[in-house]
Each structure stands twice: as C-alpha cells, then as structure tokens.
Amino acid sequence: MMQWLSNIYRLGLKELRSLRADPVLLLLIVYIFSFAVYAVATGAKLEVVNASVAYVDLDRSDLTGRIIEAILPPEFDTPEEISATDIDRVMNKGDYVFVLYFPPGFEADVIAARLPEVQLNVDATAMVQAGNGSVFLQEIISAEVTKFIAGDDTSTSLPINLVVTAKFNPNLQSTWFSSVMQVINNVTILSVLLTGAALIREREHGTIEHLLVMPVSPAEIMLAKIWANGLAINVAAVLSLWLVVQGILAVPIAGSITLFVAGTVLYLVSVTGLGILLATFTTSMPQFGLLALPVLVIMNLLSGSTTPMESIPDWLQTIMQISPSTHFVAFSQAILYRGAGLNTVWPDMLVMAGLSAIFFVLALMRFRKTMAAN
C-alpha cells in the first residue's frame, strides 16, 4: 500500500512539474480564474442597465412630459425624441431597444376615461432587456397616470400591503450570480482540458512509453494525473473566490469554503476522469479539443448554472442527472449562495461520489486498453 501511494505521489509531482513547464496552460489557468470571471460578471448583465429609449410625443401634454421624465438611469438612458416616420428606421437599425408612441389627445382621453393606447415598440433581439425593460416601462407609465388622475404626486395605496423580500441577493444584482457560476463552470472546463492535455502531452513527448516500462499500474498513472491537476484547479478556484469574487467584485460568500472544497474534490474525480476518457479516443490536441467542446457546452448549459433546471424539459432533466456537473452546480449554489451546511448538501455529495466512481472505472478501463495497444 505504501509503495502504491508513493508511486501515485511521485507521478503526481511529475505532473505538476510538467504543468509548471507549460506556460500556455499556466496562463490559461490564471486567465480563466481571474480576468475571465471579472469580465463575465461585470460585462454580461442580466438586469436592465442603460437601455436605450426613444419616444414620439404627438400630444405634447403635461402627462406625457411627466412619463418621459420618470424614465431615468441607471435602468434607462435619457429618452430621445424622434418623429413618427422614423420609428421603423431606428428599430430596423437597432438604434433603440424601446420606442414609445403617445397619440394626439392622450392626456384628454385619460381625463375623460376613454382608455387611450400607448404603443411600446420593443427590440426583442435584446431578450433580457426587452422582457424586464418593458415591464419597468409599463410600471412607470401606470404609476405616472395614476398619480396624474389622483391630482398629486403621492402614490395610490394598494388594498393590500405587499412585502417583497429578495433572499440571498437583496439588490438583485446579476454580478452576484454570474461571478460565482463562472468560477463553477471554469472548474468543469479546466478539469477536462488539463487532464486530457496531460495524457495527450505524454503521447506527443513520447513519455507514455517510459511509463509503460516502469513498475506502475494504469490506475496509479490515472490517480496521479487526477490529484495533481485537481489540486491546481482547486487552489485556483479558491483563490478566485477569495481574490476576484469577494475581493474585487465584493460578492459575499455565504457558506463554508472548506465544505465547498470537499465537494469539489469529489467532483474533480469524475470530470478529470472524463477528461482522460475523452483523451483516449484522440491522438492530438486538436482532436481532443473538437471532442471535448460539445461535451463541455452541454455540461455547462444544461447543468443549472446558466438557467434554472426547472426551465429544462422534464425528459432532459432526467438525462442530465447522470452528469456530475448538475449535482455540483446544485451543491455549489446551496453552499456559496445560501450558506447551506453538510446536512443539506450531503445528497448531492453522495451522488457526486457515486458518479465519480463510475466515471473513474470507465476511464480506467479505456486507459488500460489504450496503454495495452501501445
């Protein structure tokens, strides 16, 4: 047993030295857990920010003026007036996400309770801003019309007292979600790429033949690659959470980092095993990249890190239960967002452990066959 552990340890050190000698992979690890996390968190906004608005005011009344003045930053840019004949042109060019049209006699019709229509043209290709922004504009118009009819600027009280409490993200900032999920997705991507690249590198450098004549087993070689590359990814992920997510982006981490690391270790066994499995079907890095790309896209897009699992068709939800990324995302969200403890996340950890064993065995069987062929 001690010799077995010693072999795994020393082979793992060899993997770390190989990684240290590869500046491209080192740069990739640094980039993907630093700038890539920051850029996605601050650049890919899910909420409405600086949405462009134009308006056509054929009424020129006090009411339309009040509505236009109520459309304010940071959700919207300052509205710009255009002519009615320019609506189709500016929408076709994509100059504005929203164009409001106030017909003649709008204020008089409101006072006379004739239910006038306000046309809101929306560029729905900007899907997130179109959906949320149109709701905001409807609320602004409704609030201003209500206050105008009431004759003062006090808001009309509702027959109920509606209290909305946003848990875990009180300001509804997309940065709180996207930054953490980017780290989680990057763990999956690098786990597959690094271990796969390590095996491909052995072949390209001819060192796989050296391993074949050494008194080591395929299981020892695999475990060495898994712990070495897993260690590098785990350290990079934790540093990213501390320095980038908490430090630069000021996103709070609610739960235990230690528990997160423990679950990540279980997860890394499965995804690094997957990387080795994919690498055994290829002979070069370009082939490996082409094979790994669709697998990673499916794992990330359908794991719940981009959209909720509930929005995925039921049959696809069932299929995705065999993906370790689905359980890792649920596990990570529970800990990092909601501060869950072991008593809450142990089912996901148990499933990840089971899937890790399955993926490891499959990868080991394929790896043995590949080494025997060499």
Map out the domains of the chain with their CATH numbers.
2-44+173-373 (no CATH), 53-150 (3.40.1710.10)
Mean pLDDT to the nearest integer, 122-138: 85
Mean pLDDT to the nearest integer, 307-314: 84
Report residue 154's pLDDT band, with 50, 70 and 90 as the boundaries.
low
DSSP string, 112-135: TT-----EEEE-TTSHHHHHHHHH
pLDDT of residue 241: 95
Average pLDDT, integer, range 232-257: 93
Over residues 253-277, the pLDDT tens digits come to: 999 999 999 999 999 999 998 998 8
How confident is the model at residue 327, as a pLDDT? 94
pLDDT recorded at residue 172: 79
Query: For residues 277 and 271, what is the distance between their CA atoms, to the nearest angstrom?
Result: 10
pLDDT at 137 (0 to 100): 93
Do strands 53-57 and 80-81 pair parallel, antiparallel, or not at all (unpaired)? Answer: parallel
Using DSSP, state whether 236 is helix, strand or coil: helix
- Is the model's pLDDT at 158 over the cut of 60? no
Q: What percent of the chain has pLDDT over 70?
A: 94
pLDDT given at position 83:
94
Q: Please check the confidence at residue 64 and state whether its pLDDT lies above 90.
A: yes
Residue percentage of the chain with pLDDT more than 90: 48
In the predicted model, is pLDDT for residue 58 greater than 90? yes
What is the C-alpha to C-alpha distance for residues 228 and 158, in angstroms, rounded to an integer? Answer: 61
Does pLDDT of 209 surpass 80? no
Residue 374 above 70 pLDDT?
Answer: no
* Gap between the Cα atoms of 278 and 270, Å rounded: 12
Instruction: Judge whether residue 187 has pLDDT over 90.
Output: yes
